[in-house]
Chain A
Amino acid sequence: MKIEIKVNNKRYCLEIEHNLTLLDLLRDELGLTGTKRGCEIGECGACTVIMNGDAVNSCLVLAPQADGSEIFTVEGLEENGELSILQKAFIEHEAVHCGFCTPGMLMSAKALLDKNPHPTEEEIKIAISGNLCRCTGYKQIIEAIKSVSNQ
């Protein structure tokens, strides 16, 4: 089937199979491999993207359902060829270790900050509670997000 989708401000018109997920579409059709394939059952959050303003697990969205939607992935964070403030904060706070959870963490954090620029620590924790990290530790990640909210 044919779908029209806007990803990181770029419009795409694609012919896709019915059994693709949004995650498959982003990685395999558009080559946007920043979004990670993790558990594929909505538990790890590595595939988190922003869909029409909300953080979602792209592994749980059937690609045909994304027809007409606006998607932001980790590749869309950079501004004029530079890392965004949020990405820089992750580096400064050493909130990246192996990096596999990072794109998902960044997108959950961005979805939160877009709606609520000054979240409390509790709100930050809730926003990233669907993103599992097994090596960095959540403390640095929370600190990084908090530092952006203070700016």
Chain B
Amino acid sequence: MLPEIKYYKANTVEETVHILAQNKHAIRILAGGTDLLPELRSEKQNRKVIILDISSIKLLNKIEDEGHFIRIGALVKHSQMVESILLGRHAGFLTQASSLVGSAQIRNRGTLGGNICNAAPCADTLPPLVALDAELTLESSSGNRTELLSGFIRGAYKTNRANDEFLTWIRFKKLPEGCRSNFIKLGRREALSIARLQVAACGMIDSNNKICYIRIVPGSTTPNVFRFTEVEEYLLGNEPSERLFSKAGDMVARKMVEITGVRWSTEYKKPVIAALVRRSLQAIFNLKPGVAVK
């Protein structure tokens, strides 16, 4: 049973910020509902919940080509992301991540903005978006502000979003020409699975066969999602090799343990994240053609 609900609906950004400003007491924003409805159902207290449905704001339901940048409306659904040729061409690992979210039914309702604002540590789109240095636009009655996604996420299910703000756009630079990207998700089964570990990576080599561009973002690995810049720096300027990638995998694993400390799952996660990073780099730099990457 859902708790008692007071339902508001906004059809435009202006209406949304207006209703948010009027209801300073925490209002719950509803987009696709794939996270919010199970959450409401599990709530024990019988308090009336105020919901603001923003799912009909047409303006925020599109993916735009801005030349060097791509701008995605917060209400774009995962299924739209998967079908986008523009995203497939310039941010392939983001498309891959969206294609692995939940199930067909979840992807038909769940939005990119919801995936970000829910801020689950296992959210599939966060690692590729962080690798892209994505920037968010948040709107409130006092105007808008932009913030890097990596700073917006403040830990598991926590963000910098103020009660009277809402996410409108996600913007990032297209990957450089010739850059290859890859997303690996490890779950207990293929469909409807919650990720145990993820790796988003992208990179390219220069004419001397040296790595000249590299981004590595492990997911579900640490409470916050961020680029492992030390590992990226280690790889830069080197020729792709099995040994180099094994070392990079070990570095990521060590860094993970530094941050999270040793937990019950560490014994499993440490070698596995190292292997996923290695595989991800192999896939990007074509070291082992024909190896299936999932």
A interface with B by C-beta (< 8 Å)? 1, 18-21, 40-43, 45, 48, 54-57, 59-62, 64-65, 108, 111, 126-131
Contact = CB atoms under 8 A, between A and B. Distances in A.
Contacts of B5: 18-19, 62
Contacts of B79: 54
B105 A108 contact: yes
B7 A18 contact: yes
Given A65-B30, A127-B104, A130-B106, 17 more contacts: A19-B1, A19-B5, A20-B2, A21-B37, A42-B34, A55-B105, A60-B109, A61-B33, A62-B5, A64-B9, A65-B55, A108-B104, A111-B104, A129-B103, A129-B191, A130-B102, A130-B192
B7 to A, nearest CB: 4
B108 A62 contact: no
B51 A61 contact: no
B28 to A, nearest CB: 11
Q: Which of B41, B55, B103, B192 has the most CB of A within 10 A?
A: B103
Interface in B180-197: 190-192
A56 B105 contact: yes
Interface in B204-224: none
Contacts of B7: 1, 18, 62, 64
B6 interface: yes
B208 to A, nearest CB: 39
A5 B3 CA distance: 23
Contact of A60 (B34, B104, B190, B192): B34
Interface of B: 1-7, 9, 30, 32-34, 37-38, 41, 51, 53, 55, 79, 102-106, 108-109, 190-192
Given A42-B34, A64-B53, A65-B55, A126 B104 contact: yes
B129 to A, nearest CB: 23
Contact of B53 (A54, A65, A130, A131): A65
A45 B41 contact: no
A64 B37 CA distance: 13
A56 B109 contact: yes
Contacts, number: 87
A19 B102 CA distance: 24
Contacts of B106: 42, 57, 60, 130
A127 B105 CA distance: 9
B38 A42 contact: yes
B105 A48 contact: yes
Q: Which of B30, B103, B105 has the most CB of A within 10 A?
A: B105
Nearest to A68: B56
Contacts of B103: 42, 45, 129-131
The 3 closest A-B pairs by CB, nearest first: A130-B103, A129-B191, A18-B7
A129 B3 contact: no
B190 A40 contact: no
Nearest to A59: B37
A40 B191 CA distance: 17
23 contacts: A18-B51, A21-B37, A42-B37, A42-B102, A42-B103, A42-B105, A43-B192, A45-B105, A55-B105, A57-B109, A59-B37, A60-B33, A60-B37, A60-B106, A60-B109, A61-B109, A62-B53, A64-B53, A65-B30, A111-B104, A126-B191, A129-B104, A129-B191
A65 B33 contact: yes
B2 A19 contact: yes
B176 to A, nearest CB: 31
B38 A60 contact: yes
B119 to A, nearest CB: 19
A55 B79 CA distance: 11
A41 B103 CA distance: 12
Contacts of A1: 7
Contacts of A19: 1-5
Contacts of B55: 65
Q: Which of A55, A59, A65 has the most CB of B within 10 A?
A: A65
A62 B105 contact: no
A57 B9 contact: no
B122 to A, nearest CB: 15
A59 B34 CA distance: 9
